[in-house]
Structure 1
Amino acid sequence: MQRTCAVGVMAKAPQAGRSKTRLCPPLTPEQAAAMSAAFLRDTTENMAAATRNAPITAYAAYAPVGTETLLRACLAEGTELLLADGGDIEAPGVAGFGRCLLHAIQGMLAAGHTAACVLSADSPTIPTAVLVQAATLLLEPGDRAVLGPADDGGYYFLGLKTAHAAMFRDIDWSTETVADATRARAREIGLDLIELESWYDVDDAASLGVLLRETRGYAALATRAAIARLELRHPLDKTTLLSAAE
């Protein structure tokens, strides 16, 4: 049986007022939802591209139940859905978003994959080669974790071969301490940790500006099309952005 690496993008269906709210302002809720949809399309297309160079199975690890139809419209063909809402996860000290991440890891490993990875939906330009590199590292013999640190102190990628709940214990999510705390958890349980290239999440006005300027990484065609359609440009100007939505 072929050893496979599952990669699940942490996804929720784009909806105005519920998606990418930290981008409002400078974006309107409708613009933020449009960007969220584009990010999901590009991230899953990127995952599909990676499957051509490594034994990767692509998932959208999603929540909540009932949004499947909305979500499917944003995903690349071949992306499998996996509910990851935290469910009945019982792990002391694991709370909030950590429960969803652990739920996703457990679900993908239970499906028979050798390794399971969670991927941010906020980093549409991660180079495809980084995903291939991560899968290759995880499919080598021995237990380990692979971490993709984000420029804001979080992480855009975490891959595991065993569902170590401790990797998600006592983490102050959505803060600049997430990656450091995750590194500390790996040390505490004696788990080898390999780090990928640092990348950025698009989750506020400053990082949106980085995206608008960036010319490297994955092409992210859906995101670039959304930027052009919404007439977003740098430097970000709230008046300009609002008028583009009218």
Structure 2
Amino acid sequence: MSVLLQQFARLPVPGRVKTRMQPVLSAEQACALHEALVLWTSRRLLQAGLGTVELWAAGGVDHPLFRRCLGEGVSQICLQRGDDLGHRMQCALASGLRRAAAVLLVGSDCPEIDAGYLRAATRALQHVDLVLGPALDGGFVLIGVRRPVSDGVFANVRWGSETVLEETLNGAQAAGYSVQLLTALQDIDRPEDLPVWEGLQAAVDPAVRR
């Protein structure tokens, strides 16, 4: 089964990304964190070796961060289109399914996603229509599909709330999709999440521990 991997990321602008990290981090530090997570995620997707990797950007596609992702192996930078997050994901997934049998879409906030997690999602899609990777805060860190997402799946989702996963799951099941859930992972959204990010960095680069 051919698989396309899509990464969602926002244009890195201080004061507009990772705002919930303030005031523990300055606007510039929060933006630097965002950029680091975008790079980390794109590298994880590329290293998984499951298929082509695309980066879908919100706010613009022309930025040195995105050009760096291209230089490291991302196939293209696409502009997100849609009225809300659900519509933007729906459009990206539909685009991907015109070019691959299955699509995995992730954000740029969950550095715990690795090759094993992505392979588990791919295996699930051999048996179900839709796979979701739950986030510990009630959202989801991954959505994978092998058929287009209908309007009803995201129709009643309150984005940014603690019920995003539950509402998406309800919408998918009501629309007739078979669904499988993966292991829940931690997003890096708030100051209390920073130790998870620091621990992952330290596991890769011992210099982080010093």
TM-score of the two chains, using structure 1 as the length reference: 0.76
SS at match of 2:153: helix
Whether the 8 Å CA contact 2:4–2:102 is kept in 1: the answer is yes
The reply to whether residue 159 of structure 1 matches residue 147 of structure 2 is no
| Structure 1: 4+ residue segments shifted above 3 A | 218-221
| CA distance in structure 2 between the aligned counterparts of 1:161 and 1:7, rounded to whole angstroms | 12
Please state how far the C-alpha of 1:67 moved relative to its aligned partner. 2.8
The reply to whether residue 114 of structure 1 matches residue 109 of structure 2 is no
Question: Paired residue for 1:64?
Answer: 59
Whether the 8 Å CA contact 2:156–2:171 is kept in 1: the answer is no
Which digits, 9 at most, give the CA deviation of each residue in 1:9-58, with x for residues without a partner? 1112322112211111211111111111111111111101111xx3x221
Question: Paired residue for 1:239?
Answer: none
Note the aligned Cα RMSD (angstroms). 2.6
Counterparts in 2 of 1:187-198, with a 5 A limit?
187-198=173-184
| CA distance in structure 2 between the aligned counterparts of 1:82 and 1:126, rounded to whole angstroms | 21
Does the C-alpha gap of structure 1 residues 15 and 65 become closer, same or farther in structure 2, counting only changes over 3 Å? closer
| CA distance in structure 2 between the aligned counterparts of 1:101 and 1:220, rounded to whole angstroms | 31
| CA distance in structure 1 between the aligned counterparts of 2:204 and 2:17, rounded to whole angstroms | 19
Indicate the larger mover: 34-43 or 5-14.
5-14
SS at match of 1:167: coil
The reply to whether residue 100 of structure 1 matches residue 88 of structure 2 is yes
The reply to whether residue 168 of structure 1 matches residue 154 of structure 2 is yes
Question: Paired residue for 1:31?
Answer: 29
Does the C-alpha gap of structure 1 residues 74 and 16 become closer, same or farther in structure 2, counting only changes over 3 Å? farther
SS at match of 1:174: coil
SS at match of 2:137: coil
Question: Paired residue for 1:126?
Answer: 113
Counterparts in 2 of 1:194-205, with a 5 A limit?
194-205=180-191
SS at match of 1:168: coil
Does the C-alpha gap of structure 1 residues 67 and 19 become closer, same or farther in structure 2, counting only changes over 3 Å? farther
Question: Paired residue for 2:48?
Answer: 50
State the identity as a percent: 29
Which structure would you say has the larger RCO, counting Cα contacts within 8 Å and 6 or more residues apart?
1
| CA distance in structure 1 between the aligned counterparts of 2:105 and 2:117, rounded to whole angstroms | 14
| CA distance in structure 1 between the aligned counterparts of 2:73 and 2:124, rounded to whole angstroms | 23
Please state how far the C-alpha of 1:81 moved relative to its aligned partner. 2.8
**How many pairs were matched up?**
209
SS at match of 2:188: coil
Does the C-alpha gap of structure 1 residues 57 and 113 become closer, same or farther in structure 2, counting only changes over 3 Å? same
The reply to whether residue 86 of structure 1 matches residue 81 of structure 2 is yes
Does the C-alpha gap of structure 1 residues 177 and 6 become closer, same or farther in structure 2, counting only changes over 3 Å? same
Please state how far the C-alpha of 1:196 moved relative to its aligned partner. 0.9
TM-score of the two chains, using structure 2 as the length reference: 0.88
Say which of 12, 16, 19 aligns to 1:18.
16
Unpaired runs of 5+ residues, structure 2, are none
Name the larger-Rg structure: 1
Please state how far the C-alpha of 1:113 moved relative to its aligned partner. 0.7
| CA distance in structure 1 between the aligned counterparts of 2:41 and 2:90, rounded to whole angstroms | 20
Please state how far the C-alpha of 1:160 moved relative to its aligned partner. 0.8
Please state how far the C-alpha of 1:215 moved relative to its aligned partner. 5.3
